[in-house]
Amino acid sequence: MRGGYRWHMADSVMGAFLRARRARLTPADVGLAAAGQRRTPGLRREEVAALAGISSDYYTRLEQGRPRVPTPAVLDALARALLLTGAERAYLHEIAAPRRREAPAPPRPATAAARALLDALPDTPAFVLGPRFDLLAWNPLGSALMAGLAERPPHERNLLWQVFCCPYGAAGNREPTASIGAQLVAALRTQHADRPGDPDLTGLVARLSASSPEFAAVWAMHRAGSPGEGELRVRHPQVAADTLRYTALALPTPGHHLFVCLSPPGVPSAFRQLAAAGS
């Protein structure tokens, strides 16, 4: 019974992912003629099945979350049919795999080495992020950029909350594509692909969805990816710029990243102003 419940959870995630990726495609995207009027957006199930070389009934079972375990070859064929990115292909394999962690590992604090990295970056805002993008540690400029992290309640010391729920956040950070919010949500799915029933993840998603319709909409898109680099829109009285470049680097602790803002070209005083504000 326990194993059956675990498979139901995993297959439901895979079915939702397949449906979301199918809905984003048009016949023209995959070289098909758009025959007849379509009541819903995206490809039909039988079209995806034909492109992947599997039966329509088998594909329907996968989308409906029935307990079937596709082979790696079938997963690769589905990835090609749905035009998945490399990160999305890896995510599909992960959520379809039979191995699952029964309980997530307890959260780990930032290591001494990670904190030393923050100390070595005195001239730019920097943070250590945990697997659910909790802000585990930060340098003085990072705290100043977020208007004083140490005084914030625990649920606000989270980069996803800062992006989607902070009343002073910039709307551009919450765009459904090509934004820091979209990137973080995709990375959150990827980092928890092997533990869809993690209660801490479920609780975080529920809180963010209740507070931010934008988060709920992006989460429902079922994108997968990794935190990399991009632009952070800022609304801060001491920063003479509205956009900061950032990069997120994986740390040795699983799921931890170093998130660093980069001084915008031509605005070298931006972080000096932050330093003055935080002093």
- What's the whole-model pTM score? 0.84
Q: Which part of the chain is CATH 1.10.260.40? A: 2-96
Read off the pLDDT band of 247 (50, 70, 90). Answer: very high
C-alpha–C-alpha distance, residues 74 and 93, integer Å = 10
Please tell me the distance from the alpha carbon of residue 226 to that of residue 187, in angstroms, as a whole number. Answer: 4
Please check the confidence at residue 277 and state whether its pLDDT lies above 80: no
Name the CATH superfamily for 2-96: lambda repressor-like DNA-binding domains (1.10.260.40)
Q: What CA–CA distances, in Å, run from 73 to 15, 69, 147?
A: 18, 11, 50
Give the phi and the psi of residue 232 in degrees, each rounded to 5: -110, 115
What rounded mean pLDDT belongs to the chain?
A: 85
257 pLDDT above the threshold of 80: yes
**In this predicted structure, what is the pLDDT of residue 264?**
63
Residues 202-227 pLDDT 10s:
899 999 999 999 999 999 999 999 88
Residue 77: pLDDT band (50, 70, 90) is very high
Question: CATH number of 112-278: 3.30.450, 1.10.10, 1.10.3470, 3.40.50?
Answer: 3.30.450
Strand arrangement, sheet containing 229-233: 135-138, 126-129, 257-262, 243-250, 229-233
- Average pLDDT over every residue of 139-157: 87
Tokens of 29: 């995207």
Q: Where in the chain is the domain with CATH 3.30.450?
A: 112-278
pLDDT tier at 2, thresholds 50, 70, 90: very low
Residue 4: what pLDDT?
Answer: 35
pLDDT in tens, 3-26: 333 334 344 788 999 999 999 998
pLDDT digits (tens, 9 = 90+) for 22-75: 999 988 899 887 766 777 778 999 999 999 999 999 999 999 877 678 899 999
